[in-house]
């Protein structure tokens, strides 16, 4: 599976949360310069895939490699991970610029003053997400879409080599979605691998080079339009509508 252009490889990855089986023998490869969308019903393991690739959870079995190494062995800042916004503590007393600047922390030397490059990358990330006028606002004062933009900006300020986005278009307006889409496609053109979970399938062919359907296993993978038309995808969707799933 692995090649010189693979940024991420998952081999037979199984993840459990106590007695709950979240992923069951997942095999997945993501190439450099490729945007991969992960779709599936709630509770199917979409977010778990991102957390395993980010090194936030350890598989019960199998192997995860990012640029040929275990995620936790990589230099700080290599992986940019943007969680779902409901996982964030909004009471923390920081403004927008502070949050975006936190993306630079993994790249800074201990106790060193803020370098011009750190300020420059923070400014660039704020500008890329249209946050310049909001940079002195407390994050608790922002709308859901604005908050999502802040956390994507923080990940970009980090200057990652891999970007993981967990449902970044949930609760955002059309302008924010279009801005995020433009940023993702530009990063992919420049060679960055991006993995993103989503419930929004209407524009999947615009966002992604490849779409992967997950229901604890990889059910289908391929060109977005072909996957969305597949029997496997429609079977999963019907099952989700009929039975429901817990979130995840």
CATH number at residue 138: 3.40.50.300
- Mark whether 31 and 151 lie in a shared domain: no
pLDDT at 244: 45
Distance CA 83, CA 178 (A): 19
For residue 44, the enclosing domain spans: 1-77+164-173+193-248
Q: Which two tokens stand for residue 54?
A: 């980010």
Whether residue 109 has pLDDT greater than 90: no
Q: Are 169 and 248 within one domain? A: yes
In which band, very low, low, confident or very high, does the pLDDT at 90 lie, cut at 50, 70 and 90?
low
Q: What is the pLDDT of residue 86?
A: 66
- The per-residue pLDDT for range 158-178, each reduced to its tens digit, is 999 999 999 999 888 888 899
Give this prediction's pTM: 0.88
Q: How far apart are CA 55 and CA 113, in angstroms?
A: 29
Does 65 share its domain with 92? no
**Domains contained in the chain, number:** 2
Residue 179 forms part of a structural domain: no
Tokens 């530009």 belong to which residue?
186
Tokens of 222: 């391929």
95 in the same domain as 68: no
Would you state the pLDDT for residue 220?
A: 94
Same domain? For 54 and 3 the reply is: yes
Q: According to the model, what pLDDT value does residue 93 have?
A: 79
Token code pair at residue 105: 């922390």
Task: Give a yes or no: residue 181 inside a domain.
Answer: no
């Amino acid at each position: 599976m692995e090649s010189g252009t693979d940024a991420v490889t998952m081999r037979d990855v199984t993840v459990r949360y106590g007695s709950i089986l979240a992923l069951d023998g997942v095999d997945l490869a993501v190439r450099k310069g490729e945007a991969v969308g992960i779709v599936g019903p709630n509770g199917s393991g979409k977010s778990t895939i991102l957390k395993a690739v980010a090194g936030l959870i350890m598989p019960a079995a199998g192997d995860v490699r990012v640029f040929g190494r275990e995620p936790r062995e990589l230099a700080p800042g290599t992986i940019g991970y943007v969680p779902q916004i409901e996982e964030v503590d909004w009471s923390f007393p920081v403004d927008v610029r502070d949050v975006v600047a936190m993306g630079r922390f993994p790249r800074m030397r201990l106790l060193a003053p803020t370098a011009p490059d750190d300020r420059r990358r923070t400014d660039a990330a704020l500008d890329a997400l249209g946050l310049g006028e909001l940079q002195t606002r407390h994050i608790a004062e922002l709308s859901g879409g604005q908050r999502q933009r802040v956390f994507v900006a923080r990940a970009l300020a980090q200057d990652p080599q891999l970007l993981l986005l967990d449902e970044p278009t949930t609760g955002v307006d059309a302008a924010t979605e279009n801005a995020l889409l433009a940023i993702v496609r530009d990063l992919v053109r420049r060679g960055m691998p991006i993995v993103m979970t989503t419930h929004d399938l209407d524009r999947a062919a615009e966002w992604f080079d490849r779409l992967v359907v997950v229901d604890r296993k990889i059910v289908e993978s391929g060109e977005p339009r072909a996957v969305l038309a597949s029997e496997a995808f429609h079977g999963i969707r019907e099952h989700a509508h009929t039975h429901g799933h817990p979130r995840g």
